[in-house]
Structure 1
Amino acid sequence: MKIRTLALSALLLQASLAIAQEPAAAAHQETRPNGETVRVFLDCRTRCDFDFIRQEIPYVAWVRDRKDAQVHLLITSQRTGAGGRENTLAFIGLEDMASVTDTLLQVSSPTDTDAEEREQLTRTIELGLIAYVARTPQAARLDVIWTAPAEAMLDAVEADDPWNSWIFRLRASGSLGGEERTSDYSISGSISANRTTEDVKTEIWTYGRYAESSFELSDGTTTNSLRRDYGASLLQVWSLGDHWSAGGEVNGGHSLFGNYDLRFWVAPALEFSVWPYV
């Protein structure tokens, strides 16, 4: 009777163990990746926060055995000359992904924190895995988002320019000198106004100079030398497309040193740029 009781207890214990193992086996089967999910084996030979990577990239199946993987991700690193870290990420396709391979570099600066390095590495992993995920039905659940750089966003916003693209410049200079028998002084200046837009370019320039020198000769007489120059110019050019522009220039002036009271001329302007105008 005692033997039968022990046998019955053993039979009940075995049945209980079998019942308890069934849910665990079922749960294991539910967590196994299906055919829609890319299976990735992470072979990290540097500092990698696997828990963080798995949390941030949940749309692939991370496997522990390379034989079960479709992608072998090998990560190695080395120090840079500046004191940062350069990570090399080799994406090696396996099974039906064998034709897809890639290598990406991720470089961190010596001032980056551990959290920043971790985020940069994880982002580079995501960029490399997109090529594999795009070949599965999981691609329908992914969106590509591009963040414009700050300078591009500034260019897209029309600037509030109270001067309407005009640039004005004012220049002036002078000199004064003398010795026992000589003296001289001069003054000069110029004013310019420039405006450049996508359609037209305008340059206006006017200038003037006055100089006088005195020399006392050995016989006591004084000789004066006078120089007076002034003039103006106008350049107007219109854009004819991405490479051509045409216009004209008008100039006029007076020069005592050049021995002309008034000089005036007109000239055409034609330009071709090999590279498109920006």
Structure 2
Amino acid sequence: MRTPAIRVVIAMLVAGALLAPRPAAAQNGGSQVVPQDELRSIAPNVYLDCERRVCDFNYIKTEITFVNYVLDRQSADVQVIVTRQQTGSGGNEYTLAFLGLKRHAGKDATLKYYSKPTDTEDQFRRGLVNVLKQGLIPYVYDTPLAEFISISYAQKQDHRPTPASDPWHYWVFGLGVRGNGEFEDQAERYSYTVNASANRTTEAIKLRFYAGLNYNHRRYEIPDEEPIISISKRKNASVSIFKSIDGHWSWGGTVSVSSSTYDNARLFSSIGPAVEFNIFPYADATRRELRLQYRAGLTLRDYYEITVYGKEKENLFYQALQAVLEIKEPWGSIGASVQGSTFIPDVKYNNLRADLGVYVNLFKGFSFNVGGRYSRIRDQLSLPGREYTPEEILLELKRLASGYYLSFEVGFNYRFGSIYSNVVNPRFGNM
């Protein structure tokens, strides 16, 4: 974690820590011997509330051995909530919220770690663990474990760039090419994607330039029949600018062009402004946000095939209103959004979509999650005005007519037994 002019490095020397098979440890200048079991019992219980794709739990447990890791917050003395947001450079800002529980109630803190887009996995996890160590120190220094902790301080001229010191002035450019293929005697499938981007992000403004191309090819050999060949293409480009007004308001606009054989779009162009209000301050976005966003604009459409409404080309005005709720609290997390969009003035052509994701730790050892999406679809103006072939349907080459879309998931998990999760055993991987 960087500060404007210094970097603090905290080295933990825990003398075998809690898990090493040593009989005792001394404190108070050697006048008192603390048994190993007592050291384990006085170490704070930590519940690390972090997605597995972000936190390498095995690495954390081997690097930070002066705490006990528990499986739910009801057994914890400290809960650490880790959230992330992408930075303008393409890296990430990780916010670590340390929440004191039980005897540590009220002892809260928030630290941040910034990763670079060029960081390797090892560089990232080392940096995150270093910040995690710093945040856990206040929960250890008033215990006998403090005898085994040393703190070192090193000054470095290594700090986050300001516009005056950044020769790129916050501009970040990207080029990407990705491809894959699968080949068999009677089938072949391959695809590739090419994209380019240019972004600039500051506290006051966000600029986004993007262009991409996707090509997908499939071929299937059928005995005594002609082979089935399917090709789908998608191209798109966009320019967006969003500007901060204050801690709750922002505004901007987007210009985009796209082409898609799947959507019967020879060339779709759109332009329009947008405004957004966040009921909570943007500064709280890592923990909670309730954003209301309104967009409107003009879209010009040129179709590959005549549509079900007999159109080869048409110009349409549109509008959309969206509400997004994101909450990350000690008891769990909620993510939900509702969006309604219509064409103007024909509001009968509309789309209503709702998304929900909830994870709740109801009581000790028991967690519950539910999620899903529902769309009420009344705006499929670009559907071709003909019957699809079986190949187009089975190979999903064209968007199908539908009045709705529904998906959901639900589950629960109950853990019981030992509350501790300190031991790392890499044998046979994660079997």
TM-score, normalised with respect to structure 1: 0.44
Structure with the larger helix share: 1
**Structure with the greater alpha carbon radius of gyration:** 1
- Higher relative contact order, chain-length normalized (CA < 8 Å, sep 6+): 2
TM-score, normalised with respect to structure 2: 0.30
